[in-house]
């Protein structure tokens, strides 16, 4: 579980930096049974900030039982208490501590999509008015996903989260100005030559306010602009299923061909979930030098320095993106060994190294374990 000092430092970052808890506010602490050490450290820090902690700790198996047993009516049901709570909390600190990352791999994607639709009104309230942050608490399941022992994973994880986030914010602020002056993006690499427009879109710097670890900058591609093909070196994981060897071909913004070396049927099912699921909703650049290896956890992997990521499905409205979908599925393209990223035809990232006028702080700083 990491040292007590590391856990307490992370709790302080979550409460003071991420959600900036203030005296008199209500701060919900959402987690499962394995998150207890961090949940209690956050609980203590919320009290020290003068705010009111609200514990919302559940059982991981309850979600599996729900999807296995719930009727169609129960899947669509939205408890009114959820809406009430969302309207009254000021901040939400969400702690993920899975005991089994494949807990829901046998659940049909359609049932999970229907549940997301049912909960969408609550999600929209939280996104609109609540300051929230999402993080992991290291568990055996998370360490196994990236072929590490728990102590090795803890060392890796705390290196990624215990950073100078104020400095990261300043660096990404400079990157934001560069992206917002750009009109077009081109990604070239292994089996890849993909172009799209970001003209008029906002770039969103991410320095620990919503994700922890953080360290990326993203925007929303113009929905009808993607053209070309892309291959993703790393598996994409959704709903506990791993899809590897993904190759997508875009025409006029839409996926017109999709193949995968593993779980291709699931990939195609996700892309067909609704009209927006086959269009790009996000383009992001990883900038966290502490994330140096693939972990099968998108919370960390999309922040990896020297990589870019694309998400099919829902756009984030704050980026100016207009794509609507129940799906938002991130896929990571590795440019550290091979590949280039161009903005308006000018090279920005080549084999993991940034150059030109892009801030040097976004440069990958070497390889790790």
pLDDT tens-place string over residues 227-268: 999 999 999 988 778 999 999 999 999 999 999 999 999 999
Which three-class secondary structure state does DSSP give residue 165? helix
Residue 58 CB: number of other CB atoms within 10 A? 11
The answer to whether residue 312 sits within a structural domain is: yes
Do 46 and 69 share a domain, yes or no? yes
- Choice between 35 and 354, residue whose per-residue pLDDT is larger: 35
pLDDT at 1: 56
pLDDT at 364: 35
pLDDT at 133: 96
Do 135 and 170 share a domain, yes or no? no
Domain count, the chain: 2
The answer to whether residue 367 sits within a structural domain is: no
The pLDDT confidence band at residue 369, using thresholds 50, 70 and 90, is very low
Nearest to 103 by CA among 145, 50, 53, 71: 145
> What does the pLDDT look like over 105-148, one tens digit per residue?
888 878 988 898 898 889 888 888 999 999 999 999 999 988 99
pLDDT at 2: 63
Average pLDDT along the chain: 91
Please give the backbone phi and psi of residue 171, each rounded to the nearest 5 degrees, phi first: -65, -45
Cα angle 361, 367, 369; round to 5: 130
pTM to 2 decimal places: 0.79
Do 128 and 268 share a domain, yes or no? no
Do 136 and 50 share a domain, yes or no? yes
Do 192 and 55 share a domain, yes or no? no
The answer to whether residue 368 sits within a structural domain is: no
Can you list the pairs that 127-132 forms with residues at least 24 positions away whose Cβ atoms lie under 8 Å? 129/87, 130/86, 130/89, 130/90, 130/91, 130/92, 131/18, 131/19, 131/20, 131/90, 131/91, 131/92, 131/209, 132/19, 132/91, 132/92, 132/93, 132/94, 132/210
Do 242 and 264 share a domain, yes or no? yes
The answer to whether residue 97 sits within a structural domain is: yes
Nearest to 25 by CA among 14, 15, 38: 15
Q: How far is CA 168 from the centre of its chain?
A: 17
Given phi > 0 = left and psi -120 to 50 = alpha, else beta, which region is 246?
beta
- Could you tell me what percent of the chain has a pLDDT over 90? 75
182 vs 294: CA distance, rounded Å: 29
Last residue of a domain, which of 161, 177, 212?
161
The pLDDT confidence band at residue 352, using thresholds 50, 70 and 90, is low
The answer to whether residue 369 sits within a structural domain is: no
Do 154 and 298 share a domain, yes or no? no
Do 169 and 69 share a domain, yes or no? no
Is 30:95 a contact under the CB 8 Å cutoff? yes
Do 119 and 185 share a domain, yes or no? no
Residue 88 CB: number of other CB atoms within 10 A? 12
The answer to whether residue 71 sits within a structural domain is: yes
Do 193 and 120 share a domain, yes or no? no
264 vs 267: CA distance, rounded Å: 5
> What does the pLDDT look like over 18-55, one tens digit per residue?
999 999 999 999 999 999 999 999 999 999 999 999 99
What Å distances lie between residue 338 and 218, 341, 351, CA to CA? 21, 11, 5
The pLDDT confidence band at residue 360, using thresholds 50, 70 and 90, is very low
Q: Which residues pair with 241 in a beta bridge?
A: 238
Do 50 and 88 share a domain, yes or no? yes
Do 90 and 234 share a domain, yes or no? no
Is 299:213 a contact under the CB 8 Å cutoff? yes
Nearest to 108 by CA among 266, 267, 261: 266
Looking up residue 20, the CATH number of its domain turns out to be 3.40.1830.10
Is 234:301 a contact under the CB 8 Å cutoff? yes
Provide CB contacts within 8 A for 127, sequence distance 6+: none
Last residue of a domain, which of 145, 161, 177?
161
Nearest to 283 by CA among 302, 301, 269: 302
Q: What is the extent of the structural domain holding 100?
A: 4-161
């Amino acid at each position: 579980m990491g040292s007590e000092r590391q856990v307490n430092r992370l709790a302080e970052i979550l409460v003071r930096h991420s959600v900036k808890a203030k005296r008199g506010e209500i701060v919900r602490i959402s987690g499962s049974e394995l998150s207890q050490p961090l949940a209690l450290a956050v609980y203590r820090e919320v009290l020290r900030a003068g705010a009111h902690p609200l514990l919302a700790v559940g059982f991981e198996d309850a979600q599996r039982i729900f999807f296995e047993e719930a009727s169609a009516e129960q899947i669509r049901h939205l408890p009114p208490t959820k809406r009430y709570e969302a309207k009254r909390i000021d901040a939400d600190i969400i702690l993920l501590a899975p005991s089994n990352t494949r807990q829901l791999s046998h659940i049909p994607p359609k049932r999970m999509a229907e549940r997301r639709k049912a909960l969408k009104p609550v999600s929209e309230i939280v996104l609109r008015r609540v300051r929230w942050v999402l993080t992991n608490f290291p568990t055996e399941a998370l360490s196994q996903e990236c072929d590490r022992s728990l102590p090795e994973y803890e060392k890796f994880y705390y290196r990624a989260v215990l950073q100078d986030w104020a400095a990261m914010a300043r660096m990404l602020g400079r990157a934001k100005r560069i992206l917002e002056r750009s009109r077009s993006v081109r990604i070239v690499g292994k089996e890849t030559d993909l172009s799209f427009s970001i003209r008029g879109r906002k770039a969103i710097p991410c320095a620990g306010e919503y994700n922890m670890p953080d360290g990326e900058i993203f925007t929303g591609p113009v929905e009808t602009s993607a053209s070309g093909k892309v291959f993703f070196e790393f598996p994409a994981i959704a709903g506990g299923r791993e899809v590897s060897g993904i190759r997508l071909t875009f025409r006029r913004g839409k996926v017109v061909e999709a193949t995968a070396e593993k779980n291709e049927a699931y990939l195609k099912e996700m892309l067909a979930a609704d009209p927006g699921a086959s269009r790009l909703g996000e383009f992001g650049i990883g900038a966290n030098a502490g994330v140096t290896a693939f972990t099968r956890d998108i919370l960390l992997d999309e922040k990896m320095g020297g990589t870019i990521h694309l998400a099919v499905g829902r756009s984030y409205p704050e980026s100016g993106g207009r794509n609507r979908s129940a799906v938002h599925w991130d896929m990571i393209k590795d440019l550290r060994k091979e590949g280039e990223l161009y903005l308006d035809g000018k090279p920005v990232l080549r084999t993991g190294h940034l150059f030109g006028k892009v801030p040097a702080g976004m440069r990958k700083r070497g390889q790790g374990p």
